[in-house]
Amino acid sequence: MARTPGKLRVAWTESQTAQALASNPWRPVSSVVLGHRLLVLSDAHLGATAPEVEEALIGFLDRAPTLGDCLLLNGDVFDFWFAYRRVIPRQSFHVAAEIRRLRRRIPVVMVGGNHDRWGEEFWERDLGVDFAPLEMTIEIGQRAVLAVHGDGLTEAHWSAEVMHRITRHPLAIALWKLVHPDLGFWLVDRMSHALGNTTRREEVLDRAAVRQREWAERRLAGDSPPGCVVMGHTHRPVLTEPTPGRQYVNPGAWMDGYRYAVISETGAELRTWT
């Protein structure tokens, strides 16, 4: 399936980060390297998961600078997130505040998932977090890392494709913005299965995970491949190296045992937070 190319290419050097934060803490800078030790997590589905999932994530964000030197939030951190003009979703407040606090210490970037793609300029303007709704390429040392949540690549059923087109359409997004947020969230609670990814059927997820890996391995074997492809969405932890030095990573879901990954210039590791 054809994909929109990455909206932005973000990176920092340490001194440029410091400089940018000193002159204007609201805008991140693009330059060369985001960091050398990238933390990746996705699929916390906050709002639909137990309070402990949020508490653990806040603990992780607080300690993140001791684990890595930059962070990628790779989609579906929130079970629903939508950028209204003047209000923000209440259930995301604590984690958003913690992300803001962390952003003062290390670079943070975010890619939208099928549950929280509608970030618009909120993350960048209010939190200093580079945000891309579909995919992003970042530099970790000399290594290009392609980050994509993974929805739209793995669903075999036509209805999922229709849903992806609707939820990504500018007109649908503009109309949704006119719905009162309390009503909007009430509606989402009732139709969240339609956003996809709520299936817990093991064999469906297994097949989706295989399609994701195949997609990633095609990207790694294609023209000007990245050094690493990272995805979430299927909640299946995976680490493969189809070509020496080129890896596909899925950290698995934060909501399933607080999983995350660490990607460096030369390797990647699957981890769990305790």
d(CA 219, CA 196): 24
* Segment near Mn ion (CB under 5 A); pick from 58-66, 105-113, 128-136, 250-258: 105-113
CB of 1: closest distance to Mn ion in angstroms?
16
Find tokens 């990573």 and name the residue: 249
Per-residue x/- mask for Mn ion, residues 228 to 247, rule CB under 5 A? -----x--------------
251 in contact with Mn ion (CB under 5 A): no
**Cβ closer to Mn ion: 33 or 238?**
238
Q: How far is the CB of 195 from Mn ion (least distance, A)?
A: 8
Q: How far is the CB of 83 from Mn ion (least distance, A)?
A: 18
For 38, the token pair is 């990238």
- Of 74, 92, 154, 197, the residue at the interface with Mn ion (CB under 5 A) is 197
Q: According to the binding rule CB under 5 A, does residue 42 interact with Mn ion?
A: no
Is position 114 an interface residue for Mn ion (rule: CB under 5 A)?
Answer: yes
The secondary structure of 40-93, three-state, reads: EECCCCECCCCHHHHHHHHHHHHHHHHHCCEEEECCCCECCCECCCCCCCHHHH
Nearer to Mn ion, 103 or 149 (CB): 149
Residues in the chain: 274
CB under 5 A: which stretch of 63-71, 73-81, 83-91, 166-174 binds Mn ion? 73-81
- 246: which strand partners? 243
- For residue 143, the minimal CB distance to Mn ion (Å) is 25
Q: How far is the CB of 182 from Mn ion (least distance, A)?
A: 24
Please pick, from the candidates 35, 47, 113, 227, the single residue that binds Mn ion as defined by CB under 5 A. 113
List the one residue out of 4, 252, 274, 12 whose CA is nearest residue 138.
12
H-state helical runs in the chain: 14-23, 51-67, 93-103, 122-127, 158-168, 170-178, 181-191, 202-221
* Beta bridge partners of residue 138, listed in sequence order: 10, 145
Q: Between residues 76 and 124, which has the closer beta carbon with respect to Mn ion?
A: 76
Q: Are 170 and 156 spatial neighbours (Cβ–Cβ below 8 Å)?
A: no
Residues found near Mn ion in the complex (CB under 5 A): 76, 113-114, 197, 233
